[in-house]
Amino acid sequence: MSVEWEQVVVATRDPVALGQWWREALGWVVVDDDQVVYEIQPAPGQLPGILFLAADDAKREKNRLHIDLRPDDQAAEVERLIGMGATRVDVGQGDVPWVVLADPEGNEFCVLAARQNTK
């Protein structure tokens, strides 16, 4: 038996707006642009994707699952994402080498430092 990771599902009040925000943030493509179910993938048919599903209620608590991004330049990426509407958040992380941001609906995600060359 095998299993494949298909997608992460994000409940959101506005699937299209949040899906478009993440599409731009990641440089991915839209594979389903329905008003209730909006899906993006790295390239058509390339998994995993992120599916944004309409929900009536707003986010209320800290995420129990989140996305980590690892750019080549952490500071530049943080500024780019903030310029797109992300905000810095404190989830009790303390003094750490990553930056915690929230997307326009308040979903936390981390921007990690560039991977160190271990060779």
Q: Are residues 101 and 117 in the same domain?
A: yes
Q: Tell me, what DSSP letter sits at residue 105?
A: T
Q: Are residues 25 and 51 in the same domain?
A: yes
- Residue-level pLDDT at 117: 72
Q: Hey, which bits of 1-119 come out as E strands?
A: 7-12, 29-33, 37-41, 49-54, 67-69, 87-88, 99-102, 108-111
- Residue-level pLDDT at 47: 93
- Residue-level pLDDT at 22: 97
Q: Are residues 51 and 78 in the same domain?
A: no
Q: Are residues 45 and 80 in the same domain?
A: no
**Rounded to two decimals, what is the model's pTM?**
0.86
Provide the domain count of the chain. 2
Has residue 1 been placed in a domain? no
Span 53-75, average pLDDT:
88
CATH number at residue 93: 3.10.180.10
Has residue 78 been placed in a domain? yes
- Give the domain extent around 49: 6-57
Task: Convert the pLDDT of each residue in 2-35 to its tens digit.
Answer: 878 899 999 999 999 999 999 999 999 999 998 8
Tell me the HSE value of 79 on the side-chain side, using a 13 A CA sphere: 4
